[in-house]
Structure 1
């Protein structure tokens, strides 16, 4: 029973929603890029272990702050799993991520590991600085490179794919932090969004998300009907997420971040539906 309880705690501490979403979206991108079945499995395994390590690292590092804030929604604070167990799981997942990433090729693997290291840097302290956006930009921007560099010949991704992914990362960062700005400031966390304040961040969130969608849509295909539909869908999704995340009774604080991930899904669907060439 104790083991089952600890496993449930680990499952809850890995940030399961974002972990699964990023893993699935990158795997779909790998399929669309032309990676073979074995390559797609390797992409799935590498991204999954990397995302697990990032989520567990985050909860292990924040255990003290979450306890002080009374975050009983966190498994560590609720006593479901220990901070030590979460930390150890993060280290094991990171250790597994290294060979799984390099199995796609040294250059491809290093590209992915650069993104994972950037995310760990965020968890370990960069999130409390003005450069808190940078690990998200690097981490998301590295994912297309990981996919394409593992193709035969190791081609680099097109610049617009990398830039769009980085913009999605910045938008995800803003949306993720938005509901916690007040509590972060109280805890002494002063990253870029916290310094901007809730009102400015709310106004800023749509910009990188819509810019990424526009870059993927119009930069590759021109002003096609599908491009306009994708941009409209991204705009509506972002607006719905911000509205649902307003601090009112019955609202969903994480809605802006979920909307950001949904926009990423729209963008990946746009690439797949149009048969985009991800490489230069």
Structure 2
């Protein structure tokens, strides 16, 4: 079971699910609807994570990725395929149970994430599924709420920028292995020197969008100061400092998005 969960990219899966739940709490979802939203997002993210490892399996074997459960022999390929199929089957009724419109939106989120796994990750458009999925996820949660209305413009806009920033930061550790197997998405084309700068710029833009939409308050002012300091570290630091600073900005953006 631990290896199966690792094959689902447990960290990102949990992070996106928690983000959806926090957005749901902020949108005043009832406990029952909040559970449905959480389960729908969890099922969708599990399908995305498992499909990613299954599709990447030939590449992972080619570069000797023994840190990943399937090529390392810690979990069988058939087991992961069955789990992925179960998640795909589950995400449809769970999504539609949140409302037909909301459910259709969430299924579009999942389909967008699958499009990344199925080929867009190796193109200059690799950022598009992240922008779409993170941005529209906020719309799904809002439509699943008691009013059934979409959020204000700045919420999905900030979500999209957060998604692109997360994409740029997330790919950084795998640049060498991806390049060796022919994956040349936007982060790979930017390269290790420009990538932290691009991620920082995108994430800071996300912060500014939230502040513009939510208004300048004491909380958003503090957030701006923190983000400015983290951006300075991200742009001038050495070693892992830029990477960690970019993650810090992303976390601030998540908080602002939820409480904004």
What TM-score do the two structures reach when normalised by structure 2? 0.91
Match of 2:223 in 1: 230
Going from structure 1 to structure 2, the CA distance change for 1:174 and 1:63 (only over 3 Å counts) comes to same
CA distance in 2, matches of 1:70, 1:244: 31
Choose which of 180, 185, 205 in structure 2 pairs with 1:186.
180
Going from structure 1 to structure 2, the CA distance change for 1:220 and 1:191 (only over 3 Å counts) comes to same
Does the CA contact (< 8 Å) of 1:15 and 1:55 recur in 2? yes
For each residue in 1:150-203, what CA deviation from the matched residue of structure 2 results, as whole angstroms up to 9, or x when unmatched? 123421111110110000111111111122222211211111121222212122
Shift of 1:88: 2.3
Match of 1:121 in 2: 115
CA distance in 2, matches of 1:38, 1:243: 47
Match of 1:3 in 2: none
Q: Does 1:53 align with 2:47?
A: yes
Does the CA contact (< 8 Å) of 1:139 and 1:169 recur in 2? yes
Alignment of 1:85-124 (within 5 A): 85-124=79-118
Match of 1:270 in 2: 256
Choose which of 146, 159, 163 in structure 2 pairs with 1:165.
159
Q: Secondary structure at the match of 2:64?
A: coil
Shift of 1:258: 9.5
CA distance in 1, matches of 2:205, 2:67: 33
Does the CA contact (< 8 Å) of 2:142 and 2:148 recur in 1? yes
Alignment of 1:66-77 (within 5 A): 66-77=60-71
Alignment gaps of 5+ in structure 2:
none
Does the CA contact (< 8 Å) of 1:66 and 1:77 recur in 2? yes
Does the CA contact (< 8 Å) of 1:209 and 1:234 recur in 2? no
Across the aligned residues of Structure 1 and Structure 2, the Cα RMSD in angstroms comes to 2.4
Going from structure 1 to structure 2, the CA distance change for 1:91 and 1:231 (only over 3 Å counts) comes to farther
Alignment gaps of 5+ in structure 1:
1-6
Match of 1:22 in 2: 16
CA distance in 2, matches of 1:227, 1:94: 39
Does the CA contact (< 8 Å) of 2:124 and 2:184 recur in 1? yes
CA distance in 2, matches of 1:143, 1:132: 18
Does the CA contact (< 8 Å) of 2:233 and 2:245 recur in 1? no
Shift of 1:118: 0.6
